Amino acid sequence: MEFLNVLVAAIGAFALGSVWYMVLSEQWIEASGVRCGPDGKPEGGMKPSIFAMSFMLQLVVAGMMRHTFALSGIDGIGKGLVAGLGVGLFFITPWIGINNLYSMRPAKLTLIDGGYATLACGIMGLILTLF
């Protein structure tokens, strides 16, 4: 049953990412400096392998969050949501910020990607404690 929780949590975070980056695609492209072709889409396109690997990495995050929650006694959707938001806001977002600082990328990129990480981890935490 725990693997199913992890799988559903990763699916939830992945689905949020689809919506998040569709809504913020223009701002993200501008902030990230990704080159676009005449059609306005990133050069080289988005290969299916990128999405597959992204999902696999989200499975890793969801699995580790489940493990951490179990060791910490985090149960109930309220605790799961708050703990997940904390992971995204206080672990992942600062690390994204550090990477963006050293690669001299704009703070706007950290806000976009960190915002997604925070909400996605919140969703993962919520889902992991639903069952």
Q: Are 12 and 61 in contact (CB under 8 A)?
A: no
Instruction: Specify the amino acid at residue 61.
Output: V
Residue 41 token pair:
């889409």
Count of alpha carbons within 13 angstroms of residue 107, beta-carbon side: 0
Task: Give the model confidence (pLDDT) of 26-80 as tens digits.
Answer: 999 999 999 988 887 888 777 899 999 999 999 999 999 999 999 999 999 999 9
Work out the average pLDDT over 17-34: 95
Handedness of CA 7, 8, 12, 15 (dihedral sign): positive
Tell whether pTM > 0.85.
yes
Higher pLDDT, 71 or 2: 71
pLDDT at 1: 65
Instruction: Specify the amino acid at residue 15.
Output: A
User: Quick count: other Cβ atoms within 10 Å of Cβ 9?
Assistant: 30
